[in-house]
């Protein structure tokens, strides 16, 4: 199997996405995870651009990277300046990384309008910079910025920029679709011509963006043409729309196309890597990402799930475990009996003691009222458990009421009262909160904590409200999703009602019941 080099630029190009600002510690942690995963190269940043990247490279040796080679990124020398006198080149070398990645211009438009220099001087800037860094013992990767746009405008000049880098000693020249507007067949054709022109002694890589929605496809097309290095970011994070997504590219190359990228164990860690980087980026992980999204192997249609129970290959293109993900079924009004059977297996319940038709009918009825159970698996499990003849709920709500007042000098006051039955006892408690749901939560905990002290470790993690029929204005049905955590366990519950307090109580009561039943 031919090995395709993985060059990760999450810590440099990926940080150019709006809304991402990694701390220094975040960058160091991500670098360690990328190394453990099996990336061949990790681009740590641009040491000439900001103090954070300078400090990253200063601390990077302490990471003890065991597989990846660390790269510092920067531009070729300025016009009319020697590499030895260029501050950017000095910063690159000062990062003391084994790899230096230099970016240069391939497109005459940029040479003339942006650099404000001549085509000949640009060629000299590329060749001089690569040769100087190579002479310092660095492995030099040359990124040919705007290469495909440049090739469309002037093929001969675009090729000449690559030849200048190769003559200077570049270990790899990388064709960059910087504006992200190329199409796969053009990328494959142009990459093939480049590889034929440069010959086997000059390895070629590919770096694409996703502005036309073809970032992954363009990367795969270049590999088909002979590219041996792919550049991209975890989850496709990057400027404007996105960079090419390595979390899609890697399994496509390895599982679909038969190339060697990482070990089987590394590939099985892909989903964890994707979610880890999203967490440190403080972004919600996209459930619908190929391969690594929570919905990538989720099945909702009843006939799909029925077929999956007979043969998992019937509606899946790979085994989810290959990339560290898992198969699951989604329960909704579209569900059949198979969806519930699959859920019962997942929950380790005994199907013979449960009334599946009753639960299925209840789900369809509730979803017609505004409930949704796709993201509320704990509520589904409770519905199944409640059909068991021997099921005894840990508590039963008999009454609740919430009072909201605004008093002069004290502002808003919210007070909730709950009555719950625990066995033969009626617990009657009152609590204040900063809002109705918080007050209900506090009152319910006060009622249960004396009997169930473990309730103190249960934390409400997230609270989402959605208006389902806005045309009804303030009488609209409201759906509430509550996510709850206890240690490493997380679960979600749902409630729906024209009364937001009632919807919230339903979801809140389910979350507490689930904690006590399954904890």
3-state SS class at 107: coil
Report the topology of domain 5-262: TIM Barrel (3.20.20)
Flag residues of the chain having pLDDT under 50: 332-335
Confidence at residue 287, expressed as pLDDT on a 0 to 100 scale: 86
Distance from C-alpha of 462 to C-alpha of 209, rounded to nearest angstrom: 34
Confidence at residue 219, expressed as pLDDT on a 0 to 100 scale: 98
| Radius of gyration of the chain measured on its C-alpha atoms | 29
Closest CA to 177 of 211, 146, 142: 146
168-187 b/e (C-beta count within 10 Å ≥ 16 → b) = bbbbbbbbbbbebebebebb
Q: What is the pLDDT of residues 272-298, one digit of tens each?
A: 999 899 988 888 888 899 999 988 877
Confidence at residue 344, expressed as pLDDT on a 0 to 100 scale: 61
Distance from C-alpha of 272 to C-alpha of 268, rounded to nearest angstrom: 8
3-state SS class at 84: helix
- Every domain of the chain and the residues it spans: 5-262, 298-374, 396-518
Distance from C-alpha of 415 to C-alpha of 432, rounded to nearest angstrom: 4
Confidence at residue 334, expressed as pLDDT on a 0 to 100 scale: 47
Confidence at residue 69, expressed as pLDDT on a 0 to 100 scale: 97
Report the topology of domain 396-518: Double Stranded RNA Binding Domain (3.30.160)
Closest CA to 216 of 325, 284, 316, 291: 291
Pairing of strands 229-232, 489-497: unpaired
- Residue with structure tokens 């319910």? 444
- Residue with structure tokens 């898992």? 326
Residues sharing a CB contact under 8 Å with residue 142, sequence separation 6 or more, in sequence order: 101, 102, 103, 104, 126, 130, 162, 165, 170, 172, 173, 174
For residue 203, the Cα-to-chain-centroid distance in whole angstroms is 30
Helical (H) or strand (E) element with 473? none
Distance from C-alpha of 11 to C-alpha of 73, rounded to nearest angstrom: 11
Distance from C-alpha of 282 to C-alpha of 516, rounded to nearest angstrom: 31
- pTM for the full model? 0.72
Q: What is the pLDDT of residues 49-97, one digit of tens each?
A: 888 999 999 999 999 999 999 999 999 999 989 999 999 999 999 999 9
């Amino acid at each position: 199997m031919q090995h395709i080099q993985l060059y990760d630029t999450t810590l440099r190009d990926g940080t150019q996405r709006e809304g991402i600002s990694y701390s220094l510690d975040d960058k160091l942690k991500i670098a360690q995870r990328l190394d453990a995963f099996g990336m061949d190269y990790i681009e740590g940043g641009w040491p000439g651009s900001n103090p954070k990247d300078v400090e990253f490279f200063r601390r990077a040796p302490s990471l003890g990277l065991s597989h990846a080679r660390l790269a510092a990124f920067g531009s070729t020398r300025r016009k009319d300046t020697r590499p030895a006198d260029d501050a950017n080149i000095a910063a690159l070398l000062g990062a003391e990384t084994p790899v230096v990645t230099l970016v240069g211009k391939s497109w005459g438009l940029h040479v003339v309008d942006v650099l404000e220099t001549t085509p000949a001087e640009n060629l000299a800037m590329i060749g001089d910079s690569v040769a100087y860094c190579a002479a310092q013992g660095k492995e030099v990767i040359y990124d040919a910025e705007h290469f495909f746009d440049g090739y469309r405008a002037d093929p001969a000049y675009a090729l000449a920029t690559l030849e200048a880098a190769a003559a200077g000693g570049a270990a790899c020249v990388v064709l960059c679709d910087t504006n992200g507007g190329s199409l796969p067949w053009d990328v494959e054709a142009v990459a093939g011509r480049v590889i034929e022109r440069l010959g086997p002694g000059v390895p070629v890589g590919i770096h694409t963006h996703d502005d036309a929605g073809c970032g992954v496809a363009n990367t795969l097309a270049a590999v088909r043409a002979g590219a041996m290095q792919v550049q991209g970011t975890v989850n496709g994070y990057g400027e404007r729309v996105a960079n090419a997504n390595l979390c899609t590219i890697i399994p496509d190359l390895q599982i679909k196309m038969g190339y060697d990228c990482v070990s089987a164990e590394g590939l099985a860690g892909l989903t964890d890597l994707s979610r880890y980087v999203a967490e440190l980026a403080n972004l919600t992980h996209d459930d619908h990402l190929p391969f690594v999204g929570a919905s990538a192997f989720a099945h909702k249609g009843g006939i799909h799930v029925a077929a999956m129970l007979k043969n998992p290959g019937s509606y899946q293109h790979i085994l989810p475990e290959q990339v560290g993900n898992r198969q699951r079924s989604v329960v909704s009004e579209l569900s059949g009996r198979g969806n519930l059977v699959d859920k019962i297996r997942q929950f380790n319940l005994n199907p013979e003691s449960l009334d599946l038709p009753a639960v299925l009918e209840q789900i369809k009825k509730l979803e017609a009222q505004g409930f949704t159970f796709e993201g509320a698996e704990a509520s589904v499990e409770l519905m199944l458990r409640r059909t068991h003849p021997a099921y005894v709920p840990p508590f039963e709500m008999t009454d609740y009421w919430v009072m909201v007042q605004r008093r002069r000098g004290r502002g808003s006051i919210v007070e909730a009262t709950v009555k719950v039955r625990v066995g033969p006892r009626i617990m009657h408690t009152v609590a204040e909160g900063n809002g109705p749901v918080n007050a209900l939560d506090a009152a319910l905990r006060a009622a249960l904590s004396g009997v169930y002290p473990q309730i103190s470790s249960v934390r409400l993690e997230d609270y989402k409200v959605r208006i389902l029929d806005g045309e009804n204005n303030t009488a609209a049905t409201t759906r509430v999703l509550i996510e709850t955590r206890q240690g490493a366990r997380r679960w979600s519950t749902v409630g729906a009602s024209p009364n937001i307090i009632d919807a919230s109580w339903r979801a809140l009561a389910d979350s507490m019941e689930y904690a006590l039943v399954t904890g």
